[in-house]
Structure 1
Amino acid sequence: MIGKYLQQSFVMLKQSPLFSALYVLGTGLAIALVMVLAVLYYIKVGDIYPEKHRSRMLVALSAHMQGREDPSYNTTWCYSLPFVKECFYPLEGVEAVTAVTEARSALVKSDLSKRSLSVMQKLTDTAFWKVFDFEFIAGSPFTEADFQSGMPVVVVSERLARRAFGRTDVVGSELKLNHRQYRICGVVKSPSYAMKLSFADVWMPYTCDADMLKSSYLDVIGAFQVAILLHTAGDAGRVRACVEEYVRKFNLQQHDGYEMVLHGQPYMHWKSMFYQNAMEELDYAKILREIGVWLVLLLLVPALNLSGMIASRMERRLPEMGVRKAFGATGGRLFSQIVWENLLLTTLGGVLGLLLSFGMLFLAQQWLLTMLDGGTKLLPGEVQGITWDMLFNPSVFMLTFFICVVLNLISALVPAYLSLKKDIVYSLNKQK
């Protein structure tokens, strides 16, 4: 029976090419827009190389100090190294804790390159390679001995190795980073720029940079963000309570009239997607409302347009339905046929939407990857953008497709139901 319905549906496609094309295009555009938005959110929170453990990761992105008497006197940046060593490194019952700077611009020159290359540099510790699951093409991370002694060693990305040396087997080679000589100890598969905590072209021990080791303002404000890898996501509450207890004791001391406010940090990684600044706590109700408005606009408007098209088409098909009813066709059978016709059109629209979303993501990735950061800007230099494992995630596509199928069916079934309720005499009289 289903095969017969599909055959009839293909015949209907040929009989009404304009309607079918508009229906498939409308469905495809709706799915493409929702798919783009879903992929962008997935990129922000999914377990993607090299941040494959986001689902059990806590992050502390910034420190906020404000006046005890007047909160308007405040300062915000990342955490200082002394604070990281006192508050985060000693945490118990976690898999690893890493302190890492934000990626910053640097100049690199090798013996083979004729000019300096602009790259992104990140300073970190040895636990970085435990928290983030990098794939080493050659060599290995810098060791604890390298880190403790401040040895000038670096790990470079595959992309930088090819740019600077023309090959990837560069372990043991040397390059100049900001006019200082460093030895390459490892080469990793290049990460995407979207992986903000781990992305860089060059990774080096922060003990190599004397400025990182200096004391900072109130021994709190500094250059480091923190990522905490938990054994299980269920440990988040206990670890957060330990951090809050340390901050409570920290605030009992005198710090020039200032106190530290966490505003819920450290967050689970998925919550950090909505993080904008450290001066206020995240309002998840507001965030969900905003996402809901976007979904309504992207899905409901096309659904209403399709519903109008289907209502008009059903009005023209009333004589056909009247004749079939006169020859014994039940309302349920006619209704099933209409459902399968729309499922076929929706499936074709889903395939078109998937292809359109791929094109949109690749062509506009230069600013789409920064769209959820509170603004849009071009990516710095020739960095890795969207990768295949980000682009096609079956669960993301199936969820998006399911939502669109439900809305399209509703937009189709309502006018179909209203038309089929009309009696045979009225339907047959539509021929006149």
Structure 2
Amino acid sequence: QEDFEAGLPVAVLSESTARRLFQTSDAAGREFQLNYVTFRVAGVVKDVSNLATASYAQAWIPFTSTSTADFSWCDYMGPLSVTILPRDEADVPAIREEYDRLFAELGDEAKINGWKFILRERPYTQEVTANTPWASVSPDMSGVYRRRIITYLILLLVPAVNLSSMTHSRLRRRAEEIGVRRAFGARRSVIMTDIFLENLIITLFAGMLGLLLSLGFGLIFGGTVFAPGFGTSIESTGISLGILFHWSTFGWTMLFCFLLNLLSTGLPALNASRINIVNALTGKR
């Protein structure tokens, strides 16, 4: 805090940058030149993936050690932005309240000079920021959610229709087997449950196989596939399992597959359970 308030030229380096400059990551206390200014290394941290656009850097310095804070338009607008990481989601309302209070005070000051702030529902969460590309446009999250739901429904219904036809065709070839089970007293509910569980087991195995293939592909080709936009950095993208894999995402994916399995198996399983025993045993359709 003292270094920040004094605007001292100190820096925190990423491990790869420290090794590039000093051939070692143990560089605390050493000095380097940045824009013809001598900076002292205050510490070294692990590399940050440049997919994390709000936190990625190779060197972090106090903005008070530069003239950035003095560069502004109309005395109120400048190049600085702030990203806040709350300790808990319950702190977000308090953050918004303080934000509104501070901007109300700044707005009263701006009115004296003939200016007015248009906040457009700020501050934004990360989700809103990702779906609001222009600073001069208010976020339309209802439209985003609506398009997202339509997309999910299409992704569910179209494959479900195709898979349902495939399941129906496969069950027709097993008509004799189902007829024998019905002849020996198997209830329709048992047959439907068995057919559903068969497809569910296949879904689980396919989900795990897809997860392994996705992680392998991401680790091998992640630097190309997940490359950030132009101008983000000159370094290759750092990809780790912690970035690629989250249990919540995998859980939602498997739930999606479960619903798809339910939609594609339900009607064929119901039809198979209602098959006439005599027709099934004689091979009639």
**Aligned partner (choices 190, 215, 239) of residue 386 of structure 1:** 239
The percentage of aligned residue pairs carrying the same residue is 34
Q: Is the 8 A contact 1:366 1:385 kept in 2?
A: no
- Distance in 1 (CA, whole Å) between partners of 2:135 and 2:150 is 25
Distance 1:250 1:153, change over 3 A: closer
Q: Which residue does 1:190 correspond to in 2? A: 47
Q: Which residue does 2:14 correspond to in 1? A: 157
Q: Which residue does 1:220 correspond to in 2? A: 76
Alignment of 1:362-401 (within 5 A): 362=219, 363-368=221-226, 370=228, 380-401=233-254
Q: Which residue does 2:283 correspond to in 1? A: 430
Kindly state the Cα deviation for residue 169 of structure 1 after the two structures are TM-superposed: 0.7
- Distance in 1 (CA, whole Å) between partners of 2:153 and 2:217 is 21
Alignment of 1:96-135 (within 5 A): none
- Match of 2:81, SS state, is strand
- Match of 1:219, SS state, is coil
Per the normalisation by structure 1, the TM-score is 0.60
Kindly state the Cα deviation for residue 208 of structure 1 after the two structures are TM-superposed: 1.5
Kindly state the Cα deviation for residue 342 of structure 1 after the two structures are TM-superposed: 0.9
Q: Unaligned 5+ residue runs, structure 2?
A: none
Q: Is the 8 A contact 2:29 2:42 kept in 1?
A: yes
Give, as a single letter, the amino acid of the residue that structure 2 aligns with 1:331: R
- Match of 1:322, SS state, is helix
Kindly state the Cα deviation for residue 281 of structure 1 after the two structures are TM-superposed: 1.8
- Distance in 2 (CA, whole Å) between partners of 1:367 and 1:377 is 14
- Distance in 1 (CA, whole Å) between partners of 2:49 and 2:32 is 23
Q: Is the 8 A contact 2:195 2:269 kept in 1?
A: yes
Per the normalisation by structure 2, the TM-score is 0.87
Alignment of 1:227-376 (within 5 A): 227-230=83-86, 232-252=88-108, 253-254=110-111, 257-362=114-219, 363-368=221-226, 370=228
Listed one character per residue, the Cα deviations across residues 106-129 of structure 1 (whole Å, up to 9, x for unaligned) are xxxxxxxxxxxxxxxxxxxxxxxx
Q: Is the 8 A contact 2:7 2:64 kept in 1?
A: yes
The size of the alignment, in residue pairs, is: 283
Kindly state the Cα deviation for residue 404 of structure 1 after the two structures are TM-superposed: 0.6
Q: Which residue does 1:22 correspond to in 2? A: none
Q: Which residue does 1:421 correspond to in 2? A: 274
- Distance in 2 (CA, whole Å) between partners of 1:232 and 1:364 is 31
- Distance in 2 (CA, whole Å) between partners of 1:378 and 1:319 is 64
**Aligned partner (choices 136, 145, 164) of residue 2 of structure 2:** 145
- Match of 1:181, SS state, is strand
Root-mean-square deviation (CA), in Å? Answer: 2.5
Listed one character per residue, the Cα deviations across residues 7-47 of structure 1 (whole Å, up to 9, x for unaligned) are xxxxxxxxxxxxxxxxxxxxxxxxxxxxxxxxxxxxxxxxx
Distance 1:154 1:390, change over 3 A: same
Q: Is the 8 A contact 1:310 1:412 kept in 2?
A: yes
- Distance in 2 (CA, whole Å) between partners of 1:236 and 1:158 is 33
- Distance in 2 (CA, whole Å) between partners of 1:300 and 1:189 is 44
Give, as a single letter, the amino acid of the residue that structure 2 aligns with 1:368: F
Q: Which residue does 2:259 correspond to in 1? A: 406
- Distance in 2 (CA, whole Å) between partners of 1:386 and 1:298 is 28
Distance 1:246 1:171, change over 3 A: closer
Q: Unaligned 5+ residue runs, structure 1?
A: 1-143, 371-375
Kindly state the Cα deviation for residue 230 of structure 1 after the two structures are TM-superposed: 4.2
Distance 1:360 1:261, change over 3 A: farther
Q: Is the 8 A contact 1:343 1:405 kept in 2?
A: yes
Which deviates more, 255-264 or 189-198?
255-264
Q: Is the 8 A contact 1:319 1:431 kept in 2?
A: no
- Distance in 2 (CA, whole Å) between partners of 1:145 and 1:364 is 40
- Distance in 2 (CA, whole Å) between partners of 1:413 and 1:388 is 36
Q: Is the 8 A contact 1:161 1:170 kept in 2?
A: yes
Q: Is the 8 A contact 1:152 1:181 kept in 2?
A: yes
- Match of 1:186, SS state, is strand
Higher share in strand = 1
Listed one character per residue, the Cα deviations across residues 68-107 of structure 1 (whole Å, up to 9, x for unaligned) are xxxxxxxxxxxxxxxxxxxxxxxxxxxxxxxxxxxxxxxx
Q: Is the 8 A contact 1:190 1:384 kept in 2?
A: no
Listed one character per residue, the Cα deviations across residues 299-321 of structure 1 (whole Å, up to 9, x for unaligned) are 43333221111011111111221
- Distance in 1 (CA, whole Å) between partners of 2:97 and 2:133 is 23
Q: Is the 8 A contact 1:367 1:379 kept in 2?
A: no
- Match of 2:99, SS state, is helix
